[in-house]
Amino acid sequence: MLDLKNCDGRKDIKSMTLDEITEELEALGEKSFRAKQLYDWIHVKLAVSFDGMSSLSKELRRKLKENYSLTSLKTVEERRSRVDGTRKYLFGLEDGHIIESVWMQYQHGNSVCISSQVGCRMGCRFCASTLDGLERNLRPSEMLDQIYRIQSLTGERVSHVVVMGAGEPMDNYENVVRFLRLISSEKGLNISQRNLTVSTCGIVPGIRRFAEEGLQVTLALSLHAPNDEVRRTLMPVANRYKLEDVLGACRYYFEKTGRRLTFEYSLVRGVNDNLEEAGALARLLRDEKGHVNLIPVNPIKERDYVQSDRKAIADFKNLLEKNGINVTIRREMGRDIGGACGQLRKSYMEGEG
Ligand code: SF4
């Protein structure tokens, strides 16, 4: 459900489109060009308070403060990797929840991985973010502000965004879609939709609906197994949706958007990493439009999954390639600053941070 109010009931202005802000300001008796100025303060100058919006009159700033909240995340912790420059951030929300975001530097630009929910209820067995279940959905402003704060803190432009941190985007559908439109808006940070990636564990109706949005976003599917049987041992969502239907939805996404998919495959020793499984995966994906991204799984202490060894990863990759599948191996980023995704937040919450 789309939620445009913050927890004290004031309207969340950072989650609004320019048209909506224009309507709001007109209702307050202001001219429409004020809406453009305000939108620019929020989404281009990345203002953290109404007080700092110096081109707006004192009276307007007073009215804004009275009626609206300007979501601004608090930096609780920043950790920098000495190995590859990756930075992990813990941000505090207005209700005291903590979320994790990651900033990574690549040759093609700076990428931010954001959370879309506080926690997650999908229960994937290899994931630290789901261990305490779902706390709540993030509003569009709270997704935007992860990027805005990181851009302000690093002083560098963010060119790519992956919605791949804590949360299942299709479980917070309206807020995520609104976020994608705002972050790619020409009047805001204007990040190309082609540089936005949304990762899903495979919610079939969500993928089909997402295909109809008219967006040019990359969809990444957390696949992690070549068949339903193995997939069910790793991902409870596989009990709800059969692989056949998930891949059918992915094909539909390609047909509608022309965007090739990314199939994420975390390699777990002894669970899904033998050559038989590589062969089955090659057969499964033979006619799909996309590439496989192999991820050496990051161990989390609450589970006993172990990363595949280098040779197993290389053999798995070679077999896929021999069968004509495009494959990449995800570089491990920020291994020295919190390990697996969601792990830094988890250790902070347990007082080990
Ligand atoms: S991998 Fe993603 S969908 Fe699965 S539990 Fe973790 S956050 Fe949720």
Q: Residue 31: give its domain's CATH number.
A: 1.10.150.530
User: In the prediction, which pLDDT does 2 show?
Assistant: 61
Instruction: Identify whether residues 133 and 165 lie together within a single domain.
Output: yes
- Is 127 touching ligand 1 by the criterion CB < 6 Å? yes
CA distance 100 to 339: 12
User: What 3-state DSSP class applies to 67?
Assistant: helix
Residue 3: inside a domain:
no
Chain centroid, CA 190 distance in Å: 17
Number of domains making up the chain: 2
Sorting pLDDT into bands at 50, 70 and 90, what band is 339?
low
Residues 78-104 pLDDT 10s: 999 998 889 999 999 999 999 999 999
Residue 83: inside a domain:
no
User: In the prediction, which pLDDT does 340 show?
Assistant: 62
Residue 241: inside a domain:
yes
Residue 76: inside a domain:
no
The strand pair at 327-329 and 290-296 is best described as parallel
Main-chain dihedrals φ then ψ at residue 142, nearest 5 degrees: -75, -25
The residue among 42, 69, 96 that closes a domain is 69
Ligand 1 centroid to Cα of residue 150, in Å, is: 23
Instruction: Identify whether residues 41 and 95 lie together within a single domain.
Output: no
Residues 140-160 pLDDT 10s: 999 999 999 999 999 999 999
Residues 8-51 pLDDT 10s: 788 999 999 999 999 999 999 999 999 999 999 999 999 999 99
Instruction: Identify whether residues 34 and 182 lie together within a single domain.
Output: no
The residues that bridge with 276 in the sheet, in sequence order, are none
Instruction: Identify whether residues 222 and 255 lie together within a single domain.
Output: yes
What's the maximum distance between 2 C-alpha atoms anywhere in the chain? 69
Residue closest via CA to ligand 1's atom 6 equals 127
For this structure, is 100 an active site residue? yes
Residues 96-131 pLDDT 10s: 999 999 999 988 999 999 999 999 999 999 888 999
- Is 120 touching ligand 1 by the criterion CB < 6 Å? yes
Given 100, 135, 168, 277, the catalytic residue = 100
Indicate the top mutation candidate among 100, 121, 127 to test ligand 1's pocket, ranked by most ligand atoms within 8 A of CB.
127
User: In the prediction, which pLDDT does 353 show?
Assistant: 44
- Is 223 touching ligand 1 by the criterion CB < 6 Å? no
Sorting pLDDT into bands at 50, 70 and 90, what band is 335?
confident
Which atom of ligand 1 is closest in space to residue 199's alpha carbon?
2
The residue among 69, 97, 113 that closes a domain is 69
User: In the prediction, which pLDDT does 1 show?
Assistant: 52
CA distance 8 to 141: 15
Chain centroid, CA 126 distance in Å: 17
Sorting pLDDT into bands at 50, 70 and 90, what band is 304?
confident
Instruction: Identify whether residues 21 and 101 lie together within a single domain.
Output: no
Instruction: Identify whether residues 307 and 247 lie together within a single domain.
Output: yes
- Is 221 touching ligand 1 by the criterion CB < 6 Å? no
Residue 195: inside a domain:
yes
The residue among 69, 100, 115 that closes a domain is 69
Residue type at position 230: V
- 29 lies in which domain range? 11-69
User: In the prediction, which pLDDT does 297 show?
Assistant: 79
Residue 112: inside a domain:
yes
Residue 75: inside a domain:
no
- Is 295 touching ligand 1 by the criterion CB < 6 Å? no
Main-chain dihedrals φ then ψ at residue 6, nearest 5 degrees: -90, -175
CB-CB contact of 35 with 29 (8 Å): no
Ligand 1 centroid to Cα of residue 175, in Å, is: 17
For this structure, is 244 an active site residue? no
Sorting pLDDT into bands at 50, 70 and 90, what band is 347?
confident
Instruction: Identify whether residues 64 and 95 lie together within a single domain.
Output: no
Residue 293: inside a domain:
yes
Burial of 63 (0-12, 13-18, 19+ CB in 10 A): middle
Instruction: Identify whether residues 261 and 149 lie together within a single domain.
Output: yes
Main-chain dihedrals φ then ψ at residue 293, nearest 5 degrees: -110, 110
Instruction: Identify whether residues 154 and 24 lie together within a single domain.
Output: no
Instruction: Identify whether residues 56 and 204 lie together within a single domain.
Output: no
Instruction: Identify whether residues 98 and 204 lie together within a single domain.
Output: yes
CA distance 268 to 271: 5
Instruction: Identify whether residues 132 and 269 lie together within a single domain.
Output: yes
CATH code of 181's domain = 3.20.20.70
Q: What is the DSSP string of 207-236?
A: HHHHHTT----EEEEE---SSHHHHHHH-G
